[in-house]
């Protein structure tokens, strides 16, 4: 979940979680030492995972949320298999609305944000599938409930037949982007926040990321103080498009409250060196000026997109000039894929986008391009 244009909050790292933090014991085995890595999103995928709207979703959303989830699932199914994690009470609804051609996994599901509540899938050269579970705690214990989603990642990993590894840190899938070649990009405001990892140093968090993602280099982007739910997930700022290259979303409106901050963050990525010793090529993606909602929670972010085997699904917001420019930018960046714009306003109204409600499962032993 990536909140869009939110009012400023207290500086990151200053908000302790509610009550004592019980950190789940990590697996005794470190995935990287066993040869696992997390593939980049532009590598081949076996299937896509989504979570069907559960009881928690229906508390904050109107009926349009189901229609948006349906449209997204149908669009993704054109390009690869889609498996739906669904609460038993809503299995019939999902099957009726989606029709044939989908896989289902029945499990307790609170909400649609499977990028954060689900596992990060790993693979290794012999084709064995792995999965890291990040001890999801509801974005720093900000929201009540989410007990089912806090337990979802190991269930999804088991359903996929993956060997699961409990990480020694707390974070979410939307808080990280990997290039598949040893680099992970994160924000300081999410990973260093006291509401997730109190008492852990930057070095200890880096060790947790590298060990449980199979990476070698962590690139830190300055904090995002405007996002009061996720504390500034990286998937609301950028996405890798190929090794050594990324798209980063900025605003061309000097009145935008994050105009200067976004440029500072993009520049930080440009100045970084990845695990292969490359300076990252950063293309600018222009944020929309007009959104279909004035709510501060609305996620008006193009870069919160979904890369599939032969397509990229991107949000559209009804800002004709900005939507067309975003489409052209993505088509230039992904010349070997179809770029499909989707109106998913009901999902965006909850503070997240296409990336937030999906999770890719890699093909066996995929290789970075």
Catalytic site positions: 356
Say if residues 196 and 141 touch (Cβ distance below 8 Å). no
Say if residues 360 and 239 touch (Cβ distance below 8 Å). no
Say if residues 135 and 166 touch (Cβ distance below 8 Å). yes
Say if residues 160 and 131 touch (Cβ distance below 8 Å). yes
**How far apart are alpha carbons 143 and 291 in whole angstroms?**
26
Of 193, 305, 171, the residue nearest 238 (C-alpha): 305
Strands 45-51 and 358-362: antiparallel
Tally Cβ neighbours within 10 Å of residue 144.
9
Is the backbone of residue 71 left (phi > 0), alpha (psi -120 to 50) or beta?
alpha
Contacts of residue 186, defined as CB under 8 A and 6 or more positions apart, other chains included, come to: 171, 175, 176, 209, 218, 219, 220, 221, 234
CA torsion sign for 225, 315, 259, 247 is positive
For the residues of 127-161, what is the DSSP string, one character each? --EEEEE----HHHHTSS--HHHHTHHHHHHHHTT
Tokens of 69: 């989830």
Backbone angles phi, psi at 99, to 5 degrees: 80, -170
Tally Cβ neighbours within 10 Å of residue 166.
18
Q: String of b and e for 99-123 (b: at least 16 CB within 10 Å)?
A: eeebeebebbbbbbbbbbbbbbbbb
**How far apart are alpha carbons 72 and 86 in whole angstroms?**
15
């Amino acid at each position: 979940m990536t909140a869009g244009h939110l009012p400023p909050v207290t500086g990151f790292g200053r908000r302790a979680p509610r009550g004592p933090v019980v950190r789940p014991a990590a697996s005794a085995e470190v995935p990287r030492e066993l040869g696992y890595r997390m593939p980049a999103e532009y590598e081949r995928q076996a299937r896509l995972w989504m979570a069907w709207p559960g009881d928690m979703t229906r508390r904050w959303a109107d009926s349009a949320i189901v229609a948006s989830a349906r449209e997204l699932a149908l669009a993704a199914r054109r390009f690869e298999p889609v498996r739906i994690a669904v609460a038993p009470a809503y299995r019939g609804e999902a099957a009726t609305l989606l029709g044939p051609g989908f896989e289902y996994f029945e499990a307790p599901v609170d909400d649609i944000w499977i990028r954060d509540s689900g596992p990060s899938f790993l693979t290794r050269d012999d084709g064995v599938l792995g999965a890291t579970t990040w001890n999801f705690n509801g974005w720093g214990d900000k929201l009540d409930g989410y007990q089912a989603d806090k337990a979802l990642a190991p269930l999804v990993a088991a359903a996929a037949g993956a060997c699961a590894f409990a990480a020694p840190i707390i974070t979410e899938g939307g808080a990280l982007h990997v290039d598949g070649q040893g680099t992970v990009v994160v924000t300081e405001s999410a990973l260093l926040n006291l509401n997730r990892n109190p008492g852990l140093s930057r070095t200890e968090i880096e060790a947790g990321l590298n060990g449980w993602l199979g990476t070698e280099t962590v690139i830190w982007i300055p904090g995002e103080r405007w996002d009061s739910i996720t504390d500034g997930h990286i998937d609301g700022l950028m996405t890798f498009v190929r090794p050594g290259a990324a798209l980063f979303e900025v605003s061309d409106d000097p009145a935008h409250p994050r105009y200067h901050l976004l440029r500072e963050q993009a520049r930080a990525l440009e100045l970084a060196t990845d695990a292969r010793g490359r300076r990252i090529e950063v293309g600018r993606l222009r944020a929309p000026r007009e959104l279909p909602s004035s709510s501060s929670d609305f996620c008006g972010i193009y870069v919160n997109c979904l890369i599939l085997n032969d397509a990229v699904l991107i949000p559209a917001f009804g800002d004709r000039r900005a939507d067309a420019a975003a489409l052209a930018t993505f088509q230039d960046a992904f010349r070997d894929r179809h770029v499909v714009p989707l109106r998913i306003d009901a999902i965006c109204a909850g503070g997240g986008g296409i990336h937030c409600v999906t999770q890719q499962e890699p093909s066996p032993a995929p290789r970075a391009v």
